[in-house]
Chain A
Amino acid sequence: GESVGLHLPTLSVQEGDNSIINCAYSNSASDYFIWYKQESGKGPQFIIDIRSNMDKRQGQRVTVLLNKTVKHLSLQIAATQPGDSAVYFCAEIMDTGRRALTFGSGTRLQVQP
């Protein structure tokens, strides 16, 4: 079946650099995408979302880009900090009645001091 996936399992960056985490999706019916951050021993925490009628959305130090042509989603983190170290998941909601989240497998971000 169609699913959300990620390109890289682990990303290591230097503190202060920008981080880019990528995600590919294959379900063209998905109309809403969300990035979650999960720290060790904790539940997923909402970071930022984007609807399919948008191609970019910015938050505090984070930007999500959506390319519907190639079905690609990315999360950019500016000036990465040690506290950003975590596993990041992209998730999608398809335009169905139940509207539950479908998660990808995650990318671990390691920030080196």
Chain B
Amino acid sequence: EAGVAQSPRYKIIEKRQSVAFWCNPISGHATLYWYQQILGQGPKLLIQFQNNGVVDDSQLPKDRFSAERLKGVDSTLKIQPAKLEDSAVYLCASSLNTGAANTIYFGEGSWLTVV
């Protein structure tokens, strides 16, 4: 079974530039999450989708971050304009449903460095 795919794996941009990350969840998984993980910290939820609807985006900095999952499958996370403090790993995860955590699978992450 293919895992959660993310791209690009690594990205370096200058502050005030924009960047987009792409995620392809495991086939059939209805729930998709984007997490931000700053070095030395645990992942923090940015946004949760159930199919193509947003379940929770309360921790998403909406002035610069946006995310969509138009067809209920792939998702993109965009940052515009980027700030130095956005340097982090952006993890995408998916699960069959919003229930048991042992169905939540993480991708390898997209590493962002803002200089």
Contacts and interface: CB of A to CB of B under 8 A. Distances in A.
Interface of A: 4, 32, 34, 41-46, 49, 89, 91, 93, 97-106
B43 interface: yes
B41 A32 contact: no
Interface string B31-58: 0010000001111110010000001100
B104 interface: yes
B108 A101 contact: no
Given A43-B109, A98-B55, A91 B101 contact: yes
A104 B42 contact: yes
Interface of B: 4, 33, 40-45, 48, 55-56, 91, 93, 98-102, 104-109
Contact of B42 (A46, A91, A93, A98): A91
B96 to A, nearest CB: 13
B101 A43 contact: no
Contacts, number: 61
Nearest to A90: B42
A108 B27 CA distance: 32
B33 A100 contact: yes
Contact of A103 (B40, B42, B48, B98): B42
B42 A100 contact: no
A32 B44 contact: no
Given A98-B48, A100-B56, A45 B40 contact: no
A44 B100 contact: no
Nearest to A46: B102
A43 B99 CA distance: 20
Given A43-B109, A100-B48, A106 B42 contact: yes
